[in-house]
């Protein structure tokens, strides 16, 4: 999504994560790969997937949620978790299909994918369009700042108070959080991803880059000039905002979603869920007992 996209359009497709530089190419490949998949039979989705032996997973080419690694293989939290869950459900093969983030829900509802997982936050607007599993993680925000945090930026309110030069990523939910705190949207610097954000902070072009706690702490690991702040909850309309991400299903696929939820909860209880997510930088504090029903409200 281009930075000049109209504000109401940006808000409709915002999410809280980063696009790989190759997302555009992946989106084209995903669209081409899905062209022949539009005529998917209706009915019992889980029975159909078991019969096919394959589930098509819509992803957005995003680290660490679903991406292509240096060996050219699809990996990430979403594909690896999907493999584990669908194996339990009797579906042996997960076929990731990459597209741009804004195309995920339309692609799901037009049957280009069977399920979507792209680190997608569960919120009221999206719940009106798709069914969500219960979230596999919860997430707070964090800032990339210069070493020592010279402006003492620990919240969006701090950014507004100090008139810091603020940046975040294309389509990030953090845009709305900053605006809710009183930061002028026209003054927000929109960058491609958290790597561009790190570079901008290190060079002094901006004072702060906002992202999720997971992405900011990962990107500053090898930086000698920048650090990430302690995670915090954005405040919107006087309430602290804790987001959770889950898998999305078509509104008609209630039984498939419920079967998926059953396995997710078993994996939470056994600790297997955390063992999978830990490989991609998640911490125990980001495991959650939140439900989709709560987040949809």
pLDDT for the residue 208: 98
pLDDT for the residue 244: 94
Superfamily of the domain at 141-241: Periplasmic binding protein-like II (3.40.190.10)
Structural domain boundaries in the chain:
15-135+245-286, 141-241
Q: Which CATH number fits domain 15-135+245-286: 1.20.120.80, 3.40.50.1820, 3.40.50.800, 3.40.190.10?
A: 3.40.190.10
pLDDT for the residue 3: 34
- Quick check: do 15-135+245-286 and 141-241 share a fold? yes
pLDDT for the residue 224: 94
pLDDT for the residue 44: 92
pLDDT for the residue 118: 82
Phi/psi-derived region of residue 53, left when phi > 0, alpha when psi is between -120 and 50, beta in every other case: left
pLDDT for the residue 19: 36
Phi/psi-derived region of residue 260, left when phi > 0, alpha when psi is between -120 and 50, beta in every other case: alpha
Strand boundaries in the chain, DSSP class E: 54-59, 67-68, 74-75, 93-98, 115-116, 131-132, 137-139, 141-146, 166-169, 189-191, 208-212, 226-228, 234-236, 239-241, 243-245, 248-249
pLDDT for the residue 43: 57
pLDDT for the residue 295: 94
Mean pLDDT by 10 residues, the chain (297 residues): 36 40 39 40 82 95 83 92 97 93 92 92 92 96 98 98 95 90 97 91 98 91 95 93 94 97 98 96 94 95
């Amino acid at each position: 999504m281009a930075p000049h996209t109209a504000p109401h359009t940006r808000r409709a497709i915002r999410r809280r994560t980063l696009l790989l530089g190759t997302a555009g190419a992946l989106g084209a490949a995903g669209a081409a790969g899905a062209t022949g998949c539009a005529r998917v039979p209706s009915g019992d989705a889980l029975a159909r997937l078991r019969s096919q032996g394959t589930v098509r997973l819509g992803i957005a080419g995003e680290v660490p949620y679903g991406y292509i690694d240096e060996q050219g293989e699809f990996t990430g939290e979403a594909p690896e978790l999907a493999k584990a869950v669908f194996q339990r459900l009797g579906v042996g093969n997960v076929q990731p299909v990459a597209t741009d983030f804004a195309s995920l829900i339309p692609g799901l509802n037009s049957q280009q994918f069977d399920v979507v997982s792209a680190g997608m936050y569960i919120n009221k607007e999206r719940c009106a369009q798709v069914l969500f599993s219960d979230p596999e993680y919860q997430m707070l925000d964090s800032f990339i700042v210069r070493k020592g945090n010279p402006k003492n930026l620990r919240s969006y309110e701090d950014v507004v108070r100090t008139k810091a030069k603020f940046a975040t990523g294309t389509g990030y939910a953090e845009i709305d959080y900053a605006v809710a705190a009183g930061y002028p949207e026209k003054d927000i610097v929109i960058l491609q991803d958290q790597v561009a954000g790190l570079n901008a902070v290190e060079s002094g072009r901006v004072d702060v880059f906002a992202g999720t706690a997971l992405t900011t702490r990962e990107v500053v690991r090898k930086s000698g000039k920048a650090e990430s702040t302690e995670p915090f909850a954005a405040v919107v309309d006087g309430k602290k905002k804790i987001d959770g991400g889950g898998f999305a299903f078509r509104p008609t696929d209630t039984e498939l979603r419920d079967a998926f939820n059953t396995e997710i909860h078993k994996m939470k209880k056994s600790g297997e869920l955390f063992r999978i997510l830990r490989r991609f930088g998640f911490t125990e504090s980001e495991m959650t007992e939140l439900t989709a029903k709560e987040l949809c409200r």
